[in-house]
Structure 1
Amino acid sequence: MRAVLCAALLLLSGCGATVAQEPSASTPVTVTNCGQQVTFDRVPSKVVTNDTGITEMMFALGLEDRMAGYVVNGIDTVDIRTSPWKADFESGKHLSDKISKEVVQGVNADFVFAGWNYGFSESTGFTPDSLRELGIATYQLTEACRNGVGKQRGIMPALDALYTDLRNLGKIFRVEAKAEELVKGYQEQIARAGRLMEGKPRPKVFLYDSGQDQPFTSGRNAAPQDVISKAGGENVFGDLNDSWTTVNWEAVVQRNPDVVLIVDYADGEANTPEQKQAFLEGFAPLANSPAVKGKRFFSLPYAALVESPRNPASVEAFAKFLAGV
């Protein structure tokens, strides 16, 4: 009888056994965020997120009920229309096109999830420090963590940043099992996609975000680096110790890309991938590049190319393009 009781009471730490249990909603938890230990006294219940990919992380973890609302630049965009969580965006609350102290205070936010150049900015005064003074906790997007070299960003490979954030959020919101489930599924998806280009030459890929006078692209610390490399290509600016950054056209021409990966969003100059492709095809210095001569262009939405739960599907889609599947 005692053995039966011990088995029944095992989860309650009876009969001399100790079993780890999830911390309660009011138990403080500590995570490492951008190299610093950050403690959260309780599970946040009025979260404001900034940007599409950041918001989608909350949705992927099933945390929409913890959100006071989200901030994105318009709700009728390619990002929202193509989002696997489109229904969550529609049922959630779009607070504003631009984040500010007034926006988060207006919904009594107790937690803001954003990042440097993803909402946080000294120029606007919207920073983790300024929110802390208002009693609002913050979590910083790991892809956008500053790395100690001026304002350059990125402290780890982009997919590792995604997994780090999912696991940290899992701990903060007490959904660690869901976070691990997502990470495992993403890792398996990426491994399958990587096999499509095994044994084949790795094409040189130029990530074109925007800019006609000077191109805006991705260094080794932003999501396109891993999207490109895990799909079987080589980022031509993978040597730059930065995330999203401006380069010059001379450097693009010298690196002679085989493929151009275009970010699909309105940048104020050329608003569609087709317009961006037309610009590149009409740009004389690139006329002899293999990418332009072979019309090797591929596009993905902005939210698929910043840190987000869309990154694994982006790897798969780009791998299929490179492999001609």
Structure 2
Amino acid sequence: MRPITIKTAASAAVTGALLAGLVACGNDDRPAAAGDSKDTGGKTAAVRLKSCGLDLNVTRPPRRAVALEQNATEIMLALGLADRMVGTSYQTDPVLPELADAYAKVPVLAKQYPGHEAVLAKEPDFLYSTLSSAFAPEAAGERAGWASAGVPAYLSSHDCEQKGLTRKDVTFDAIFGEINDIATVFGVKDRGTKVVDGLRARLDRAVAAAPGGPGRDIMWYYSGTRTPYVAGKGGLPSTISQLLGEKNTFDDVNQKWFAGGWEKIADRNPDVIVLADLTRGGDGDSAEAKKRFLRADPVASKLDAVRHNRFVVVPGSAVDPSLRSVSAVEAVSKGLGSLR
């Protein structure tokens, strides 16, 4: 789920090419293609792809990239691209421990999103975000403007500026395809393959380990107390529920996340509640804060899942389409097993 404190809104090219005519599409489920399966060390070029409706041309692997929020940053770091980054921003959670040393080498441009001038000052040759809010006029600026200046700006197909271009459903194939897109752009295809293969293996193990059963109703509770933000149809929670043989309680609501109400939740009376554990410190953000509220609220406390302590905790960042998404499957699979 994108940060709810930021309003969601709707890059100089360098020359040289050894490999032209490469086409990769960031808006379908297929991994990006490249001419050479080996890492190229920045020596290949000419990648063309479409990102949320915008044609991007990358004439050679970028060397001055800016990742505009943590999900994009962690994907780049997992691909070993810290030395190609001149900036990062919007850290919402502690960086994954295995990426912390690499993260420490990248300049932090802003606590949240950097403005256009701050990004421009880094003379970037590539911008990347998984959230469209990063490219709002009051943030880094619109992607089309960067593209007209020769700086490709890649946006995840899970959160396009034009909602008609955004994927209706979050799939792991699309998440893995995005990782491969970024690896292809930077000429490190083998690294992308290695990262994706590792994630696929973990995903397969987590699904195989799920307890299975009658298909319980699972409510995914992201944030808030009096007005809870819960998962509807099409988001990662819906996908994970289906993968594990369960049901998302609000899969009939055609919004990935929406502001719910406790009376309506009580009518559904979910079997299990998945609690997103957020570190930002807001009302009902942490898993423990959610539990305290649920046990004290006169309506929520009567839910079967609350009375029987049927909670599963996942890191808040893991419910966004990202490098961390597989960890959400692992946590829910393990949690459901312990409840069973």
> Which TM-score applies when normalising by structure 2?
0.78
**CA pair 273-161 structure 1, distance change in 2 beyond 3 A:** same
How far did 1:84 drift? 3.6
Alignment RMSD: 2.7
Which consecutive unaligned segments of at least 5 residues does structure 1 have?
1-19
Distance 1:132 1:206 in 2: 41
How far did 1:256 drift? 1.7
Match of 2:147 in 1: 132
**CA pair 240-129 structure 1, distance change in 2 beyond 3 A:** farther
* 1:30 maps onto 2:48 in alignment: yes
Match of 1:15 in 2: none
Match of 2:107 in 1: 93
2:66 aligned partner, one-letter code: V
Match of 2:121 in 1: 106
**CA deviation vs aligned residue, 1:41-60 (integer Å, no higher than 9, x gap):** 22111111122222111111
How far did 1:292 drift? 0.7
Distance 1:115 1:127 in 2: 14
Distance 1:232 1:146 in 2: 32
Match of 2:199 in 1: 186
How far did 1:187 drift? 1.9
- Aligned partner of residue 313 in structure 1, secondary structure: helix
Match of 1:324 in 2: 338
1:181 aligned partner, one-letter code: K
- Aligned partner of residue 160 in structure 1, secondary structure: helix
1:54 aligned partner, one-letter code: A
How far did 1:88 drift? 2.1
The correspondence of residues 147-166 of structure 1 with structure 2, limited to 5 A, is 148-149=163-164, 153-166=166-179
Match of 2:89 in 1: 71
1:70 aligned partner, one-letter code: T
**CA pair 218-86 structure 1, distance change in 2 beyond 3 A:** farther
2:103 aligned partner, one-letter code: F
* 1:48 maps onto 2:66 in alignment: yes
| Contact 1:46–1:109 (8 Å) recurs in 2 | yes
Distance 1:83 1:217 in 2: 28
| Contact 2:54–2:144 (8 Å) recurs in 1 | no
Match of 1:313 in 2: 327
- Aligned partner of residue 94 in structure 2, secondary structure: helix
Distance 1:318 1:235 in 2: 12
Distance 1:53 1:194 in 2: 23
Distance 2:60 2:44 in 1: 4
How far did 1:107 drift? 1.4
Match of 1:171 in 2: 184
1:57 aligned partner, one-letter code: I
Mean Cα deviation higher: 283-292 or 171-180: 283-292
* 1:223 maps onto 2:236 in alignment: yes
Distance 2:138 2:189 in 1: 35
**CA deviation vs aligned residue, 1:74-126 (integer Å, no higher than 9, x gap):** 6xxxx216544222222322221122212211211221111445423356573
Distance 2:161 2:214 in 1: 34
Match of 1:256 in 2: 269
How far did 1:133 drift? 4.3
**CA pair 221-36 structure 1, distance change in 2 beyond 3 A:** farther
Match of 1:286 in 2: 300
2:296 aligned partner, one-letter code: G
> Which TM-score applies when normalising by structure 1?
0.81
Which consecutive unaligned segments of at least 5 residues does structure 2 have?
1-34
Greater gyration radius: 1
Match of 1:299 in 2: 313
Distance 1:268 1:294 in 2: 26
- Percent identity of equivalent pairs: 25
1:120 aligned partner, one-letter code: F
2:318 aligned partner, one-letter code: A
Mean Cα deviation higher: 26-35 or 97-106: 26-35
How far did 1:306 drift? 1.1
| Contact 2:43–2:60 (8 Å) recurs in 1 | yes
**CA pair 56-48 structure 1, distance change in 2 beyond 3 A:** same
| Contact 1:153–1:242 (8 Å) recurs in 2 | no
| Contact 2:222–2:285 (8 Å) recurs in 1 | no
2:305 aligned partner, one-letter code: A
Distance 1:110 1:245 in 2: 36
Distance 1:234 1:200 in 2: 11
